[in-house]
Copies of this chain bind each other. A is one copy, B any other.
Amino acid sequence: MTIEQLSASRAHGGVQGVYRHASAATGTDMVFSVFVPDHAPDARLPVVWYLSGLTCTHANVTEKGEFRATCAELGLIFVAPDTSPRGDGVADDPGYDLGQGAGFYVDAVRAPWAPHFAMRTYIETELPALVAAHFPADMARQSIMGHSMGGHGALTIGLRNPGRFRAVSAFAPIVAPSQVPWGQKALSAYLGDDRAAWRAHDAVALIEDGARLPELLVDQGMDDAFLGEQLRPELLAAACADAGIPLTLRRHIGYDHSYYFISTLMADQLRWHGARLAGAAGPEGVGPEGVGPEGVGQGAG
Contact = CB atoms under 8 A, between A and B. Distances in A.
A264 B264 CA distance: 17
Q: Count identical subunits in the complex.
A: 2
A223 B9 CA distance: 10
A254 interface: yes
Interface in A82-116: none
Contact of A264 (B12, B261, B263): B12
A261 B63 contact: no
A275 interface: no
Binding site secondary structure of chain A: mixed
Contact of A9 (B10, B11, B258): B258
Nearest to A223: B10
Interface centre among A12, A68, A252 (most CB of B within 10 A): A12
A222 to B, nearest CB: 10
Nearest to A35: B260
A33 to B, nearest CB: 11
Interface size class of A (residues with CB under 8 A): 20 to 34
Nearest to A263: B11
A73 to B, nearest CB: 12
Contacts of A69: 66, 264, 267
Nearest to A222: B10
A226 interface: no
A256 interface: yes
B255 A10 contact: yes
Nearest to A11: B260
Contacts of A255: 9-11
Interface of A: 9-13, 16, 63-64, 66, 68-69, 221, 223, 252, 254-256, 258-261, 263-264, 267
